[in-house]
Amino acid sequence: MAELRYNPLLDDWTMVASNRQKRPDMPKGSCPFCPGSGKVPDDYDVYLYPNDFPVLSENPPEPDDVGGGVYETRKAYGRCEVVLYSKEHTATLPDLSRPHMNRLMDLWTETYDRLRQQPKVEYVMIFENRGREVGVTMPHPHGQVYAYPFVPKKVRTEIASCQAHYEKTERNLFADMLYEEQVFKQRIVAETAHFLAFIPFFTDYPFGVYVVAKDNVCHLTDMEESVRYELGVLLQDIVGGMDLIYDRSFPYMMVMHPAPVNEEDAQSYYRFHIEFYPPLRGEQAIKFNASSETGGWAAANPTKVEDNAAILKDCIKRFQVTKGGEG
């Protein structure tokens, strides 16, 4: 069973896919993403793999006849792709060479561009889940790309806030956020010619980094190739720095936020950015969303943002020295 179910209380859609219960959990001794498995090429650097347990598909089944009235159902149309970062089973983003990271950026961009042109697709999201702490069932380094037939609630909320700010001030909200962070300085963890990385003033995750484009771009395809490669290097530096915070592989959820496919004028009020949601609040302590946060969406951060930013900034600098020494 795979379908969309409408939530009238939140004006949002829930993706229902009972087949995902069959996903393998951390297989021991074999990996379908490693060369020799018969499921991937015997040699590759980056590779696009169709999701074996998709929640969205190009030919979805009819929804179950269980709705009615305010309980609307829709076909779960869309696409779910898996992006394999490397043939090496234990390699993660920081381990890739800079040319290898460039090829990953190319694959992300090509996949994004192809999916956003599919009929019925309203939003394309590139994301990565890293670590058992965030529910990863396959440890081989990979991310995913979902093409949705709707715009997810969080993105719609961002869009609405940005539009309201623009109507009130005639300014881009992300430009104003960057201005405040650059004036204050203490929450910035890294900066390049075209991107600013910082732990926002308002974040509810202790090391919840945002990477925001300095230019008015809304999609990966809006960026010159050299700018996309610059972004790839910055992502490696951020994740490499995170790994040095506790000298361990740092779990996180990373999500790219482009504009919706059909928002033609979004560049005036919205901007491409990446959000990290790392669950650690200590070396072995997890920040769980408890009743207030889950039931009321009342965000809470158990740490001080400015202290965390200083720690991560120092770790990123240490990682850059190590990465630069690779020759």
Which residues are marked as active site?
142
DSSP letters along 178-195, please?
HHHHHHH-TTEEEE-SSE
Residue 191: exposure state from Cβ atoms within 10 A (0-12, 13-18, ≥19): middle
Are 188 and 198 in contact, with CB atoms under 8 Å apart? yes
Q: How many CA atoms lie within 13 A of 213 on its CB side?
A: 25
Q: Are 4 and 75 in contact (CB under 8 A)?
A: yes
Q: Provide the 3-class DSSP secondary structure of residue 131.
A: coil
Contacts of 195 (CB under 8 A, 6+ apart): 211, 212, 213, 214, 230, 231, 234
Q: Which of 111, 99, 180 is nearest to 147 (CA)?
A: 111
CA distance 316 to 324: 12
Contact present, 251 and 283 (Cβ < 8 Å)? no
What is the torsional sign of CA 309, 313, 316, 322? negative
Residue with tokens 């972004």: 231
